[in-house]
Amino acid sequence: MAEAVKAAGRQFAEAGLEAPERSAQILICGLLDIGLTELVLDAGNALDVETQSRVASAVARAVNGEPVHRILGRREFYGLELQLNEETLEPRPDTEILVDAALPHVTAIAARQGGCDILDLGTGTGAIALAILSHVKQARALGVDISEKAVLAATQNARRHGLGERFRATTGDWFDNISDRFDVIVSNPPYIRRSDIDGLSDAVRRHDPVRALDGGQDGLDAYRIIARETDKHLRQGGRIVLETGFDQHDAVIALFDKHGLECLERRRDLGGRDRVLAFARKAL
């Protein structure tokens, strides 16, 4: 087993992939459905022929630039293993900051009211909503996504984690099919400038769905819609927490300000770049 990981790591290094050894471990542990501890304990075990061939074809896909979590079809986010499909963005560690920023609001509202209704716009795998629900037992969430396949992935992910009773997903274009109001709205909308998409890494450009990335000419299309519609969908005392591109904080704050929403908090990501904003209605 250790041999297989080493060999894969060497191939990844030769192909110029990032973190080749770590990627080889993730890929092979994932394929065998074992943890790192088992990998170490079983290091000397040989792989059977069928497993060898599964490993070989997965390694070939990775060498060809496909991200290891795409190959496995799943990725961990905020301690939850989530299934991906071709219409869901692969959840990113930086998006966990959005969950960190939303949780205190959800917890406070749930403590005050005995419940908290959350709307996750562009839910994808359901990552953000499900992470929040797994930490706040009285919260419920609705996930909206324009992709039916994403809605399916999010629904299945909720069931797998025992959150199916408190999570529902539906197809829709942002707020188009939504008439309710919510205590907390969260979203990681597409925010890449259209002209920047060609310059993204191969892994993102070729394997993440472009609809989850393309934020229009200036990257702000989704924020314009969300800023305009939020007032109609946010309850009294509600909060909206959003991921943004690293250079978009000021522009997004200005957009929301025009619609009566004030920025309460700005957070940076793991690399120290601007990434998350939280808003509330301005006091009258």
Tokens of 144: 């909206």
Q: How far is the CB of 34 from ligand GLN (least distance, A)?
A: 29
Q: How far is the CB of 245 from ligand GLN (least distance, A)?
A: 7
Among 134, 147, 157, 188, binds ligand GLN (CB under 6 A): 188
> Do 121 and 187 contact (CB within 8 A), yes or no?
yes
The answer to the question of residue 213 lying near ligand GLN (CB under 6 A) is yes
CA distance 34 to 136: 29
Q: Which stretch binds ligand GLN (CB under 6 A): 57-65, 107-115, 140-148, 182-190?
A: 182-190
Q: How far is the CB of 111 from ligand GLN (least distance, A)?
A: 30
According to the annotation, is 122 in a ligand binding site?
Answer: yes
Measured from the CB atom, the residue of 16 and 199 that comes closer to ligand GLN is: 199
The answer to the question of residue 210 lying near ligand GLN (CB under 6 A) is no
Q: Which stretch binds ligand GLN (CB under 6 A): 39-47, 106-114, 183-191, 257-265?
A: 183-191
Among 67, 190, 209, 238, binds ligand GLN (CB under 6 A): 190
Among 56, 63, 152, 204, binds ligand GLN (CB under 6 A): 204
The answer to the question of residue 187 lying near ligand GLN (CB under 6 A) is no
DSSP code for 191: -
According to the annotation, is 51 in a ligand binding site?
Answer: no
Angle at Cα 120 formed by Cα 117 and Cα 122, nearest 5°?
160
Q: How far is the CB of 172 from ligand GLN (least distance, A)?
A: 18
* DSSP result, the chain: -HHHHHHHHHHHHHTT-SSHHHHHHHHHHHHHT--HHHHHHTTTPPPPHHHHHHHHHHHHHHHTT--HHHHHTEEEETTEEEE--TTSPPP-GGGHHHHHHHHHHHHHHHHHHS-EEEEEET-TTSHHHHHHHHH-TTEEEEEEES-HHHHHHHHHHHHHTT-TTTEEEEE-STTTT----EEEEEE----B-GGGGGGS-HHHHHHS-GGGTB--TTS-HHHHHHHHHHHHHEEEEEEEEEE--TT-HHHHHHHHHHTTEEEEEEEE-TTS-EEEEEEEEPP-
> Do 95 and 80 contact (CB within 8 A), yes or no?
no
Q: How far is the CB of 244 from ligand GLN (least distance, A)?
A: 8
Q: Which stretch binds ligand GLN (CB under 6 A): 111-119, 136-144, 188-196, 259-267?
A: 188-196
According to the annotation, is 188 in a ligand binding site?
Answer: yes
Among 78, 191, 256, 279, binds ligand GLN (CB under 6 A): 191
Contact code string over 218-257 relative to ligand GLN, x by CB under 6 A: -------------------------x--------------
Please tell me the count of residues contacting ligand GLN according to CB under 6 A: 9
Interacting residue ranges for ligand GLN, rule: CB under 6 A: 92, 188-192, 204, 213, 243
Give the residue numbers of the binding site for substrate. 188-191
Give the residue numbers of the binding site for S-adenosyl-L-methionine. 122-126, 145, 174, 188
